[in-house]
Amino acid sequence: MSTDQEELKFVENRAAHLLSRPITVGGLTLPNRVAMAPMTRGFSPGGVPGADVAAYYARRAAGGTGLVITEGAYVGHPSAGQHDLVSRMYGDDALAGWARVTGAVHDAGGRIFAQLQHVGMARAAGDPPHPEAPAIGPSGQPLEGTRTGHAMTQADIDAVLSAFAEAARDAERAGFDGVELHGAHGYLIDQFLWSGTNHRTDRYGGGVRARARFAAEAVAAVRARVAPGFPVVVRVSQWKQSDYTARLADTPEEFGVILGELVDAGADAFHASTRRYWQPAFDGAELNLAGWAKKLTGKPAITVGSVGLDTEFTASLAGDTAGRTGIDGLLDRLEADEFDVVAVGRSLLADPDWTAKILGGRDDDVIPFTPAALGVLG
């Protein structure tokens, strides 16, 4: 094929036209609009990512994905985690492992953000990596069940904020291009944001603005410890792991209050997690959650949720195979400037070259997702 024919094919490929555009987040320019969604895989024994993890992420970057977002890495607080195979962002051994990961992704031409996580009340008694640590949360209130935990004191809050800040600093030193604070799915930051788990009567509880204080302080603490222009993204969601009908905000106005506090604290972008990207976030408008995040703040927004697949992730976890679908509806929304970046999860697990194939107009060559992809780090 001649160069002119290749250029014509590119112009005729709507996906390439829309998804290949660079975008700037904070002080970083991403090469295209496709991100690898953060997915907890549990392939880091002792919390240390090895050569296989580096190869796994680098393979997606080599396949054309512009931004890789890691699985949630535990910050350096004893109650932050709940598994000894999930990565951590503290300790010389783990940070050396992450440096190899970032180097591999950069060598493959990609950019990489570290997702930083504290699970809060999602933790059960005796969970590793620190089985002696209690489960903590804004009110010691679990997302489900009757077990209770430790309601955080101001000293606890200060310690966790410091842990997020130090993890972000260490991530930057390990070569990451940005960080994402996991404020979704019912983990600690989300537990403060959501009225279902935040029953505090001090300055961290009550109305929407007060419930956003902890998240805003986490963003501000991170912002103060990293270089100017180093991107700080916040992931948010309505749904929780234990309650798919939960709502962080009942109206766009409430959502705007939360996001406004985070923007004022230094957030550069928002990653709005939904199970189906095409569903409206609020009654009366077609915008999805990422669309509202962008409309309300003017900041770049990342959308996610069953991109290119006909079933959501819960079905895949139950062992169902997901069929492929077109992405014309996604491209319509991207073309309308509803959001800026598209995060892809299961499709990139099944096919590391998904991005290159979509951008190259080779949709029919995409390897379909099967549950077997969940059990390997390929």
57 flagged as catalytic: no
CB 206 within 8 A of CB 149: no
Catalytic one among 187, 204, 244, 277?
187
Active site positions, annotated: 187
